[in-house]
Structure 1
Amino acid sequence: MGEWLGQMIEVDVTNIAHGGVSVARHDGRVVFVSDAIPGERVLVRITDDKKKSFWRAETVKVVTASKHRKDHVWSAASIDRDPDNRAGGAEFGHIELSHQRTLKAQILRESLERMAKVTHAPVVEVVPGDDERNGLGWRTRVSLHVNDAGNLGPFAARSHRVISVRDLPLATPELSAAAPLDQNFAGFERVDVLNPSSGGVRLIMGKQKPQVITELVGEREFSLLDSGFWQVHHGAAEVLTAAVQDAIDPELFDPAASNLDLYGGVGLFAAAVGDKFGPATKITTVEAESSATDHAAQNLSEWLGARAETGRVDRWLRQLVTGASATERARLERATVVLDPPRSGAGREVVELLASAAPAHVVYVACDPVAFARDVAFFAEKGYTLRAVRAFDLFPHTHHVEAVGTFTRD
């Protein structure tokens, strides 16, 4: 291995893969190619030939272009640049916007078919206003990195090399205008730039003390720390709130059951459930980060039956199911559970613990189609069927896609 590293070859791109890369073959070997579109012939440079089963490569030149190719929305990531100097974070920016969604839907559908043996074909839905802005101006949070010279920028695609840029077209106009791209930050490793719903743009650098910010979802306010998690797209929290509310079947929902919001953050989805079913709704949100739990308690204070607990979801569930009384088990069996795990998914242990509680209804918010499909298979093993799934384009010009799946007991 190693003799092909850095060499140029021409390949025909035949498919899309998870992770923002396309699929080609060379002498029978799979080659994962960045900055290409299925249907194209491209000249690529081999960047990784260590595996016997596949290589990785970067597109250097487009020989035969797809009809869906267009000029990249971000010049810093353009095909005209050497692959080593292309900014990361907009890996679908060379693809026509509606075709990006077609590819994302294909990845989700094929992941579910391959890993969970189920067939669902959701259309990737658009956040209102995104098409009018050509998928730009949506990011409310950007992490920028500092090189040895103190220059600020994003990492290059698939590396930790900092790329100096003049603009941030995926960021909101306010964030883009305020980002200190031309300033020197020697002595720091990273600068986070935030544009929350209120209070203006702010920078987070080094070990500065986190500050409380307010995010708005419709007319509802959520307090959280500026270092905490919140949806990146300015419209995502509102879109997902509505999607979770729509996913819950009123005939299955029992406001007096032991309803759960797992990986609950600052209470966004617990609030969505409470807003739909009323202030007496019983729901417990569980989050590992104690500062988020503190804010969840505040954000959910108007619901009499809402609680916020700190704990790792796997440990918390294990304690719940092993210590539940007969009465509590009956409440769990009538429950609706919303879970929004990290990109790695919930995983087998959490799915099995949750299934052992036997809730009537599960709504899963997923930000990774492969991890989601794997968990769908785990749920199926435990007697839960994926009844419906919707998908949302909350990350235009990237390969990421959000899904909301609804499960019921067989």
Structure 2
Amino acid sequence: MGDMLGREVELDVTGIAHGGISVARLDGRVVFVSDTLPGETVRARVTDDRKKSFWRAETVSVVEASPHRREHVWSAASVDRSPEDRAGGAEFGHIELAHQRELKSQVVRDALTRTGGLDPDQATVRVEALPGDDERGGAGWRTRVRLHLDAEGRPGQYAARSHRVVHVADLPLATPEVAEAAPLGEAFPGEEHVDVLAPSTGGARLIIGKQAPSTVTEQVGERTFQLDDGGFWQVHRHAAETLTSAVQQMIDPARFEPGAANLDLYGGVGLLAAAVGDAFGSRVRITSVESDERATEHASENLADWLGASAVTARVDRWVRQAVAQATSAERDRSRAATVVLDPPRSGAGRPVVDGLADLAPAQVVYVACDPVALARDLALFRDRGYDVDALRAFDLFPSTHHVETVVRLIRR
């Protein structure tokens, strides 16, 4: 091994893998290759040949293009640039938008069947578009962008699969407000990054380095949410309202009990707890659990309309473990009647949280996931503890990238 590194090879691309990478074969060996799509023949440079089972490569040029290839939505990430100079963060930008969603559907289905153990018909899902994305060709949706700074403090984006800053002339995935505010030609010596954001109210702003947080207001339907300017909020301009209605529709009303010990785990500033409260009325009892103290402070204010809503600062795994250990029999009954909404980070909830939830034995779990493989691992854990997938939807919250959001309802057997 090791003698192929840097060599160029011709590859027939046959499939799509998780992470925005396509799959090819060379003399029987799997090669994971970037900047292409199934059905193409490409010349690619081998970037990693250390493993016996697979290699990694990046496309240098397209020999035979797929009918689904389009001109890249971002010239800075195009195959016309040498691989080390391509900006990261738009790894599906060379694929027609409808076909991007088709590939994402395949990735979700593969993860849920291979890792999650679901039947193929159960795992079949159509990735749904968000409003305006077809008209804008999968551009113009990001309300938040982080610009990384080079040694002189000049902003750019990380090159794909590296931490090297490449300079870019534009930010086509950003909303027009963010793109206009982005200080691409300026310099910020001594800083590491500049965040550019345009919340739904109050105009665009910059966060330079570690400056003290200020509060911004996001509007979702009729409701407003306060959060720190650097705090977590869904990036797509229509993501918060899309997930609000998806979670509301995913909760089975026949299994919902307003007075039960309902939970919103990894709750952030209370977006999904508010979705539950709005759907089921002011009598809803729900506890939102979030490890970020500033987010929890905002959640307490954002959830003030519901007398039974509260926000707790805690690590979710510890909070769940404690809830199991300290539950009285009355609390166990309230937990068994409960609906749990969880929206974990990319790495998923993991065994301690799944096991703890299974011990609380809620009537239904609505799981919002931004990583299909982590979701699939957790679904297998839930299945072992008596929970089955009852409904499934997927949303294209990140057009022109490989990311996809999935929302699943699990019910107790």
TM-score (norm 2): 0.98
Tell me, in whole angstroms, the C-alpha distance in 2 between the residues paired with 1:135 and 1:218: 23
- What is the alpha-carbon distance in structure 2 between the residues aligned to residue 116 and residue 304 of structure 1? 38
Provide Cα deviations, 1:217-238, integer angstroms capped at 9, x if missing partner. 0110000001110000010000
- The CA distance in 2 between the partners of 1:109 and 1:375, in whole Å, is 15
- Structure 1, residues 32-80: CA drift from partner, whole Å, max 9, x if none? 0000110111000011111121111100011111000011010001110
Structure 1 residue 90 corresponds to structure 2 residue 90: yes
Paired with 1:285 and 1:276, the residues of 2 have a C-alpha distance of: 16
Query: Aligned match of 1:173 in 169, 173, 176?
Result: 176
Partner of 1:74: 74
Tell me the residue number matched to 2:30. 30
Map 1:109-120 to 2 at 5 A: 109-118=109-118, 119=120, 120=123
SS at match of 1:388: strand
Secondary structure of the corresponding residue to residue 230 of structure 2: coil
Deviation at 1:349, TM superposition (A): 1.2
Give the residue type in structure 2 aligned to 1:227: G
- SS of 1:171's equivalent in the other structure is coil
2:336 is equivalent to residue 330 of structure 1: no
- In the alignment, the residues of structure 1 paired with residue 91 and residue 223 of structure 2 have an alpha-carbon distance, to the nearest angstrom, of 34
Amino acid at match of 1:147: D
Give the counterpart letter for 2:403 in structure 1.
Answer: H
The offset of 1:128, in angstroms, is 1.2
Matches within 5 A, 1:135-284: 135-284=138-287
Q: Distance in 2 between matches of 1:89 and 1:206?
A: 21
- 1:370 lines up with 2:373 in the alignment: yes
Residue 116 of structure 1: how far off its partner (Å): 1.6
Encode CA deviations 1:136-160: one digit per residue, 9 max, x unaligned.
1100010111111222101000001
- Runs of 4+ more than 6 Å apart: none
TM-score with structure 1 length normalisation? 0.99
CA–CA separation in structure 2 for the residues paired with 1:190 and 1:31: 34
User: In 1, Cα distance between the equivalents of 2:283 and 2:134?
Assistant: 39
CA distance in 2, matches of 1:148, 1:53: 38
Which residue of 2 is the match for residue 357 of structure 1? 360
Aligned residue type for 1:388 = A
1:202 maps to amino acid: R
Q: Which residue of 2 aligns with 1:393?
A: 396
SS of the equivalent of 1:265 reads coil
Give 1:108's aligned residue. Answer: 108
Partner of 2:299: 296
The alignment status of 1:13 with 2:16, answered yes or no, reads no
RMSD across aligned C-alpha pairs, in angstroms?
0.7
1:319 aligned partner, one-letter code = Q
Say how many residue pairs are matched.
410
Query: What stretches of structure 2 of length at least 5 have no aligned partner?
Result: none
Q: Which runs of 5+ in 1 are unaligned?
A: none
Report the alpha carbon displacement of residue 207 of structure 1 after superposing the two structures with TM.
2.0
Paired with 1:319 and 1:348, the residues of 2 have a C-alpha distance of: 15
Q: 2:410 aligns with which of 395, 407, 410?
A: 407
The 3-state SS of whatever aligns with 1:154 is strand
Structure 1 partner of 2:4: 4
Residues of 2 paired with 1:201 and 1:133: CA distance?
Answer: 20
**TM-fit CA distance, 1:262:** 0.2
Structure 1 letter corresponding to 2:60? V
Distance across 1 between alignment mates of 2:180 and 2:210: 24
Matches within 5 A, 1:32-51: 32-51=32-51
